[in-house]
Amino acid sequence: MLCDKCGKKSATVHIKQVINGKQTEQHLCADCAGGAVDVQMPSFGSLDLHKLFWGTPAADVRRPKICPGCGISWAEAAKGGRLGCARCYAAFADELRPQVAQMHGGKRHIGKVKMLNPTAQVLLQDSALANKNYERLALQKQLGELVDLEKFEEAAAVRDKIRSLEAELQQAVQQANAADQKAGDER
């Protein structure tokens, strides 16, 4: 299929839009799509889906990044919503970093966080506290391993670190809850 705009090159970008029940389709080559894609993406807060899927058009068209492990390009990964292999994370680190920061509220994905208090969103809002909670979880795992190996003196030191972190986290949660309650009383 040839490009709808220039009619010369093969169309590699296919855009289908439905606006107010009316469907339109565009089939463009990479050159025409790079500077002329006029797609109205829905807004999802501060997440710019157009930038996520197409990146900076001029940069993508001139020198597409390609993963050395699987050969997938950033445009293909963004379009499909999945990376091709483990090496893609290193190959597309510059593109992934801001997206991960937006989606997870920080530069590092820490998985499902086990919180001391499920309603204590303060741990996720403050990256320093989130890191302390992550450290606490890692220490708990280490504590279990030390006990299994019967290294009780080292386990006691790790246990004390865990208790110290838990006290700091509890204090931060209590302060945040008190501030929330005070703000609610003032309304």
Domain range summary for the chain, segments of one domain joined by +: 1-40, 43-107, 122-186
The amino acid at residue 14 is: H
> Measuring CA to CA, which residue among 86, 140, 146 is closest to residue 113?
140
Question: Which one-letter amino acid corresponds to residue 112?
Answer: K
- 8 Å CB contact between 55 and 73: no
- Over residues 45-94, the pLDDT tens digits come to 555 555 666 555 444 445 678 888 888 888 888 888 888 888 888 888 88
Q: Under a CB-based contact definition with an 8 Å cutoff, are residues 91 and 65 in contact?
A: yes
Per-residue b or e along 155-166, where b marks 16 or more CB atoms closer than 10 Å to that residue's CB: beebbeebeebb
Task: Give this prediction's pTM.
Answer: 0.37
